Amino acid sequence: MLLYSYYPLTRVTGYSRIVGLLNSLPGEMHMPAPEQEILLAPSQTGIHVALEPAQTVFHSLLLLAKTKKLGGFGDWVTETLSSMPAMQKQRHQVVMIGLYYAVQPERSWPSFPDYVDHLAAMPPLELRDKLINAYFNIPCLDDGEKSQEVVLEEDIQSMLSSVDTFLAFLGERFSAKHFDRALEAQAYAYIVDPPAMHSLVVNHFRSMWENYLQAEWERVKPMLQDAVAAFEQVDYRPMGRLEAAEFITGQTLGESHMLSRSSKLNK
């Protein structure tokens, strides 16, 4: 099982990965093995903490897109937002919210630029289909059943036949609280043009990294590494799996939270 803990760049505990807390759960699917160079030696308890550079930066980008709904962020978030031009903020909303399921990392990467290079090497249609397949596998609100696991090209073409059809499809899967029709309509214009979508994602991520994220990541990276090293020295044997997870993340999780997060991130 993989349990993720999210933090903005300016929190010294960073974004950590805890491997093996719930390995006893039946029927779990695991993500690909992490890159070896970013992992420390596994402990005898089966609990392992390591930095996830690409995931950390991605989550910081997500925080920049969610400041209207969330609060309590550090100076880096507010200062970065205030320095971003209006058009760049709008593009950021489209990429991080409207195209979220296409751009979220699904495995470990040694660095955020490595992840962006991976996206750049993907065929545009493959990147688009990553998003579409995720949408088709989100349960409908009315019956709670997944639409289908095998998505045919004719299904995709029907879904994308018009912006209204696309928005109706999303409306069946997302409540009004989590569904911005205007933003999704903007995303639709890119989804139906995979090369334009691919270019938007790659160029935006590279711009955000070079202009806002790289310097901050280099500043906090030594602190994050120290925090990970400190967590690796802890004797977790007296702790249960939930207690250990809460100790490492600094959050009250609860078993239901861990199971929910695990099932989502290990698919």
Query: Alpha-carbon distance 105 to 107, whole Å?
Result: 6
Q: Where does the pLDDT of residue 147 fall: very low under 50, low under 70, confident under 90, or very high at 90 and above? A: low
Pairing of strands 16-19, 48-51: antiparallel
Averaged over 143-160, what is the pLDDT? Answer: 76
- Asked if residue 53 lies in contact with residue 111, where contact means CB atoms within 8 angstroms, the answer is yes
**pLDDT for the residue 148:** 58
Query: Alpha-carbon distance 146 to 137, whole Å?
Result: 5
**pLDDT for the residue 69:** 62
What average pLDDT is seen over the chain? 77
Averaged over 129-144, what is the pLDDT? Answer: 86
DSSP string, 53-80: HHHHHHHHHHHHH-TTT-----HHHHHH
Percent of the chain topping pLDDT 90: 45
Cα–chain center distance at 108: 11
Q: Where does the pLDDT of residue 137 fall: very low under 50, low under 70, confident under 90, or very high at 90 and above? A: confident
Q: Which range has the worst mean pLDDT, 3-12, 91-100, 176-185, 216-225?
A: 3-12
Query: Alpha-carbon distance 1 to 222, whole Å?
Result: 27
Region of 111 on the Ramachandran plot (φ > 0 left; ψ -120 to 50 alpha; else beta):
beta
211, 201, 238, 233: which is closest to 104 by C-alpha? 201
- pLDDT at 82 > cutoff 70: yes
- pLDDT at 253 > cutoff 90: no
Single pTM value for the model: 0.75
**pLDDT for the residue 125:** 96
Percent of the chain topping pLDDT 70: 72
Helix (H) or strand (E) holding 82: helix 75-83
- pLDDT at 109 > cutoff 60: yes
Query: Alpha-carbon distance 226 to 181, whole Å?
Result: 43
pLDDT 10s digits, 19-30: 333 333 333 322
More confident residue, 117 or 107: 117
pLDDT 10s digits, 175-192: 888 889 999 999 999 999
Q: Where does the pLDDT of residue 71 fall: very low under 50, low under 70, confident under 90, or very high at 90 and above? A: low
> What is the number of helices (H) and of strands (E) in the chain?
13, 3
Averaged over 82-111, what is the pLDDT? Answer: 95
pLDDT 10s digits, 234-252: 888 888 778 887 887 777 7
